[in-house]
Structure 1
């Protein structure tokens, strides 16, 4: 789209530069009885051609900007992965009250989506709000997983390693229940996250 706009703009500028005498000679060779074209008509035509050429150049640059905003660059992905790693490393969550601290992490579903969302959030103003993929790679256990991080448009890939540890049990009180029945214990899980450029 951008290339077409630039080419059409160049053609319009070339048309605006054609001398009036050449156009008159061309019209006379095709239709000798055609009425004479005034100089003011040529001026108006040149102005219109140049205005259309400027609009074409603007459209071309706008198309380039849209294309850039629709894909990730290596620099954007690098910055986003570093920011997501920094924020996720040391993060924690509470498990289900019925979990005794041994339930496996949902690395294939919920955590993969969390990684993608976190990377997109750290993408910055120019990066698109989509296109990031966190795919499990290598062996996955109940507490450990490795992800291959890619994004549409970026040539780089990143390897992100995640480990979840049961670090504590937190007791809370459920409202509306009497005495000991109101006490609920939930496991606390802490995540260690690291990443590096390249394949896993």
Structure 2
């Protein structure tokens, strides 16, 4: 986007320069290259200048829009740092339950997506709502793992370490059919995350 903006600004500057060319100079060139041609009227130069200036203004406006779009798609160092810190604080202690009829361990659907969503949420109004990646580096996806968090626009990276442990206080036994007592074969087991972060890739 930056390259496109610079091209638009350069073309706009060229159009402004063309609008500033003197009519007498253009007429003299025309007489030498096309002597049989008629004299160009002043109205033709006025129309051309208005057209060139209008096109240059359009180019400047489009270039400014391209720069704004490029800026809005990039994360700054401070934005990513703040978002990762808030993500760590939010997910440290985050809990969920696992349906024992489907899973018999600390199954969690997708740590990476959970981290990415939180970073984007805490990026603030000026940060993009995308362009964040949480790449798994090592560890058991069910019990613990390390994730390198990076974002477009900054070379800064963070390593988030996630540990998953059982919390029996969160266990839940839903009532049986029609509100009666549960048979006990169906339970929801509670788990809680512990999340820490440090600067640099994992």
Query: What is the total number of aligned residue pairs between the two structures?
Result: 197
Give the unaligned 5+ runs of structure 2: none
Asked if 1:75 corresponds to 2:78, the answer is yes
Which runs of structure 2 are paired with 1:99-110 in the superposition (5 Å)? Answer: 103-106=105-108, 110=110
> Deviation of residue 15 (structure 1)?
0.5
| Cα RMSD (Å) | 2.4
Instruction: Specify the alignment match of 1:132 in structure 2.
Output: 132
For 2:163, what is the secondary structure of its paired residue?
strand
SS in 1 for 2:167: strand
Deviates more, 1:150-159 or 1:49-58: 150-159
The answer to whether structure 1 residue 154 and structure 2 residue 154 are counterparts is yes
SS in 2 for 1:33: coil
* Residue of 89, 92, 106 corresponding to 1:89: 92
21, 41, 57: which one aligns with 2:24: 21
CA contact (8 A) 2:101 2:186 kept: no
Q: Which structure 2 residues correspond to residues 1-200 of structure 1 after superposition, within 5 A?
A: 1-98=4-101, 103-106=105-108, 110-140=110-140, 142-168=142-168, 169-176=171-178, 178-181=180-183, 184-200=186-202
Q: Matched residues in 1 for 2:79 and 2:125: separation?
A: 10
TM, length-normalised to structure 2: 0.85
Q: Which stretches in structure 1 are left out of the alignment for 5+ residues?
A: none
Alpha-carbon separation, structure 1, partners of 2:35 and 2:148 = 73
TM-score, normalised to structure 1, is 0.85
